[in-house]
Structure 1
Amino acid sequence: MARLFDNLRTGAWVSRERARLVGLAVLATSLFGLLYILATATGLNDYSGRPIGSDFSNIYAAGTYVLEGEPAKPFDPAAQHSREQAIFGAVTPFYGWHYPPFFLGLAALLATMPYLLALAVWQGVTLVLYLLAIRAVLPIPPPLAGKNGPPSWLSFPFGGGIEKLWLLLALAYPAVFINLGHGHNGFLTAALFAAALLTLDSRPILSGVLIGCLAYKPQFGLLIPLVLLVTGRWRVFIAAGVTVALMALAVTAAFGVEVWRAFLASGEFTRTVVLEQGGTGWHKIQSVFSWARMWGAGLPLAYAAQAATTVAVATALVVIWRGRSRFAEKAAALLIGSILATPYSLDYDLMLIAPAIAFLAADAARHGPAPWQKTLLAALWLVPLIARSFAQFTHIPLGVPVLLLSFVWLLDRAFRTDAPDIIESQTA
C-alpha cells in the first residue's frame, strides 16, 4: 500500500511508453467506432436512426431557418423539432437549439452546404484550431532542435520519423471523440479559451476579442470577468465587453430585436426541461447540480450545492490568480473552474480540460512535476473516457470529483509555489 501511494504521489506509473500505448489504443478504438458509425449509416442517419453527428443537426436545422429569413424559429422547440424531422426523418429525436443569437450566423453559413460536408467542415476546421492551440501552449522544440541531446519527454520516435507525443495525446484525448460523435463545438471553445489565455498579457486586445467570442457559450464565461477584474487586466476586460456589444449590435441589425425575445423566452424550456428535469440525462451532465439531482436531491438542494460550489471556486480563483502560482497553474485553474462553476456542462464540454492538461504538462516539463501532478494529469485525461458510461450504470459520477480534486490541488499550489505572475513563453 505504501508503494502504491508513493507511485501515485510521484507519478512514476505515468511513463512515456505507457502514455503512448494508452493513447494509441484509445485513438484506434475511437477511430474504429467512428468508422463503424459511418459504415452502418443510412443516408444522413446512423444505425440507430439518429442524425450522423447528432447534435450538429440542431445547428444545421437552425441555419436553414436563418437562410429562409426566420432566425427566431430555432428558439421554438416545436418548430426546431419539425425542421429536424423534415431533414432527417419523422423519427428523429429532438435536438434543441440553446445557443444565444450570436451563433446563428455561423449556423447559416454551415447550412449553405450539404449536411455531411457541413459537418466535415465544422469538425475539421475546429479540430485544427484546437490542435494549433494545444501546440502553442506546449514548449516543444523544432524537429531538429536538440538533435545531439536527450530527446524531449514530450516526443517519441514513431512511424519512421520524429512525431510528437503531444499530438497523439491531443488527438486521442477521449473528449475529442465524444465531440466528434456529437458534431459539437468543444474544439472551438477549447481553442478560443486557450488562445485567450496565451495572449492575455502579450496581446490584451486580441485576448479580449477571443474572450468576447466565447459569448456563444455563456455558461463558461462566468468567472473570466472576475479574474480579469481582480488582476487589473482592464484592457482585456474592456475589449471583451466591446466585442460582445458589437456582436449583439450586428446580430440585432441582421436578425432584428425579435430574435432576442425568442432567445430569452426559450430560456424557460432550457432551464426546466433540459437542466432541472435532466432531459439530456444526468449521466451526461458534468456538474455538481447534476450530481445532486442524480442522487435524488430536490431542486432547492441541488441549486444550493451548485451555488456553494460556484462561490467556493470563484473565491479560490481570486486566491490563485492573486497568489504566487505560476501562470500555467492559474490558466489550468480558470479552465477547470469554469466547468465546475456552471450547472450545465456536458461530457463533450470536457474539451476545455485539454488545454488545462497542456498548460500543466508544459509547466512540468519546465520545472519538473510537483507531487501528485502526473497522476492528476493522467486522471484528467482519462476521465472523459468513462465518466458518462460509469455514471449511467452505477449512478456514481467520476468527472466532477476528478475536477474538484484537481482544482483543490491547484489551490494548494497557490500557497506553495513561489513564482512571478507572468506568462512564460509558450513556444520554443
Structure 2
Amino acid sequence: MTHIWQGFWRGLRSGAWLTPARARGYSLILLGVCAVAISGWIALSDGLIDRNGKPVGTDFSNVYAAGTLTWQGRPADAYVPALQHAAEKAVFGGREVPFYGWHYPPFFFAVAVLVAAVPYAFGLAIWLVASLAAYLAVMRAILPRPETWLIAAAFPAVVVNIGHGQNGFLTAALLGGALHLLDRRPWLAGVLIGCLAYKPQFGVLIPVALLAGGRWSTIAAAAATVAALVAVSFATLGGGVWHAFADSMTFTQTVVLEQGGTGWEKIQSIFSAARMWGASVPAAYAAQIALAIMLAACLAWLWRSNAAFELKASALASGSLLATPYVLDYDLVVLAVAIAWLARHGLRRGFEPFEISLLAAAWLVPLLSRGVAGASGIPLGLVVLLLTFACTMRRAVRDRGGDRDRKEPMRTPKRIAQA
C-alpha cells in the first residue's frame, strides 16, 4: 500500500500521468457524455420546457425576452422584474417558467434584439454556436497546438455554459482575444476590452494591469469604445433605459447577490463562500475587498515587471474571476484563458512540481464546483482559482527576469512536451 501511495504522489508531483493520449481520451469521453446528456435534455423537453419546468437554455430566456420587449419599444421594462417575467412567460406561450432577471447594461440590448429577431430555438442555437466558435478560435490562437480545440471544447465549463444559454463564451473570447492582440494590435485589444463592459464586474482589475503596464493606446481605445457604446444606446433606446438600469441595480445587489437568490453553491467568489458559511453581508464584503486589493497589488507588480507575458495574461484572467463577488460557474469559461496562457508558458519553459496536476484540476473544477459546494459547503471553484493565481504568481517571481535570468530550466515530461 505504501508503494502505491508513493507512486501516486510521484505521479501527481511530476504530472507524468497526464499523457497526451489520456488528455485526448478524457476529452473525448467527456464530450460524448455531454453530447448525449444535452441531446436527451432537449429530446425530453415539452415545447422547449424541460422536465424541471425550466426553459431549454434557462438564462437565455431573459436575453430573448429583453429582445422582444425592445422590438415592442419597451426596453426599460426588462429591468422591472414583474414585466420581464411576464415577457419571459409570453415567449413560451404564457406557460409558467422561473424568473431570470435582466441585469446587463443597456448596450447589451444589441445582442438581445438580434437573437429575438428569429424564433427562440434558432436564436439560442445562433447565440451558442457563434459565441462558442469565437471562444474556440481565441483558445487556438493563444495555444496553437493540435489538441487545443478538443481540450477547449471538452472543458466542463463549456457544457455548463451551454446548459444555461449564457455568455461565458463571449466573455472568454473578448478577454482572451484582447490579451492575444495586446502587443500586436493594442487598439483592437482596447476595443475588445471596451466591449467586455457588458459584464462590468469582470473589468475591476483590467485598468490596474493596463495602467501598470503603460498600455496607453489600449486604455484609450477601451475608453472610447465604452463611450461609443453608451452614446449609441442613448441615441437608440433613450436615456430612460439607463435610469431603469440604475434603479434595477438595487434588486441585483440585494436579492441576487447579498441574499443568495442565485444560490451560494453557484457563485464562485469569496463573498459567496463567506455568506454560505454564515458571515454577515459586511463581513463578506470585507473579505471580498481585501482579496481584490491583494489581487490588484500583485497584478500591478506583475504587469510592471519584465516577467513573461503569458504569466501576466494568465494572472489577469484568473484574477478577474476572483476579484468580483458575482461570478457563477458558467463564467468559469474564462478560466480556460488562464489555463491556456499558463500552459503555454509551461510548455515553453517547463513545469514546476504539481503544476500539470493543478492545471488538470482547474480544467475539471467547473464540473464539480456546484455539486461539491452544495453537498459539503466547500467552495472548490474558489479554492482552485486561488491556487491557479498563486501558481502563476510563483512562476512570475521565479521568472521575472525573463528567459535571460533563468539559471536552471524547469522540467517538462517528454511525453507532454513532444505532444
Q: Give the TM-score normalised by structure 2.
A: 0.93
After superposition, the CA RMSD in angstroms is 1.3
**1:9 maps onto 2:22 in alignment:** no
Alpha-carbon contact 2:57-2:162 (below 8 Å) kept: yes
Following TM superposition, by how much is the alpha carbon of 1:292 offset from its aligned partner in structure 2, in angstroms? 0.4
- CA drift of 1:41 comes to 0.9
Secondary structure of 1:72's partner? helix
Of 402, 409, 412, the residue aligned with 1:419 is 402
1:29 deviates by 1.1
Matched residue, 2:410: none
Give the structure 1 partner of residue 212 of structure 2. Answer: 230
After superposition, the C-alpha distances for 1:312-365 in whole angstroms (9 at most, x for unaligned) are 111111122222421111111000000000000000000001121111222222
Aligned 1:137-156 pairs, distance under 5 A: 137-140=142-145
Q: Within the alignment, does 1:135 sit opposite 2:140 as a pair?
A: yes
Q: Deviations over 1:84-113 (max 9, x none)?
A: 112224420000001011101110111110
User: Paired residue for 1:346?
Assistant: 328
Paired AA for residue 10 in structure 1:
S
Amino acid at match of 2:171: T
Residue from 194, 197, 216 that aligns with 2:176? 194
Q: Which residue of 2 aligns with 1:161?
A: none
Aligned to 2:414: none
- Aligned partners of 1:272, 1:175: CA distance in 2, in Å? 27
For residues 360 and 308 of structure 1, what CA distance do their matches in structure 2 show?
25
Of stretches 392-401 and 8-17 in structure 1, the one that deviates more from structure 2 is 8-17
2:63 & 2:403 partners in 1: Cα distance?
44
Query: For the Cα contact (< 8 Å) 1:324–1:415, is it kept in 2?
Result: no
Whether 1:207 and 2:212 are equivalent positions in the alignment is: no
- 1:56 aligned residue (57, 60, 63): 60
Structure having the larger proportion of residues in helix: 2
C-alpha separation between the residues in 1 aligned to 2:171 and 2:403? 28
Q: Match of 1:81, SS?
A: helix
Residues 1:69 and 2:52 aligned together: no
CA contact (8 A) 2:212 2:301 kept: no
Whether 2:116 is the aligned partner of 1:98: answer no
User: Is 2:319 the partner of 1:315?
Assistant: no
5+ residue gaps, structure 1, are: 141-163, 422-428
Deviation at residue 3 of structure 1 after TM alignment: 4.4
Aligned to 2:362: 380
Runs of 4+ in 1 over 6 A off after TM superposition: none
Percent of pairs with identical residues: 52
The answer on 1:219 being equivalent to 2:201 is: yes
* Alpha-carbon separation, structure 1, partners of 2:144 and 2:56: 37
**Which residue of 2 is the match for residue 39 of structure 1?**
43
Letter in 1 for 2:70: V
Give the aligned partner of residue 334 of structure 1. 316
| Displacement of 1:183 | 0.5
Q: Could you say what secondary structure the match of 1:197 adopts?
A: helix
Any stretches of 5+ residues in structure 2 without a counterpart? 405-419
Contact 1:324 1:420 in 2 (8 A): no
Q: Is the 8 A contact 2:85 2:100 kept in 1?
A: yes
Contact persistence 1:319–1:414 (CA under 8 A) = no
Separation (CA, whole Å) in 2 of partners of 1:420 and 1:96: 49
* SS in structure 2 at match of 1:69: coil
1:153 aligned residue: none
Distance in 2 (CA, whole Å) between partners of 1:350 and 1:325 is 25
Aligned to 2:408: none
SS in 1 for 2:75: coil
Confirm or deny: 8 A CA contact 2:139 2:340 kept in the other structure. Answer: yes
Matched, 1:408 2:381: no
The 1-side partners of 2:243 and 2:319 are apart by 31
The residue type paired with residue 43 of structure 2 is A
Q: Is the 8 A contact 2:268 2:328 kept in 1?
A: yes
Aligned position for 2:232 = 250
Aligned positions, number:
398
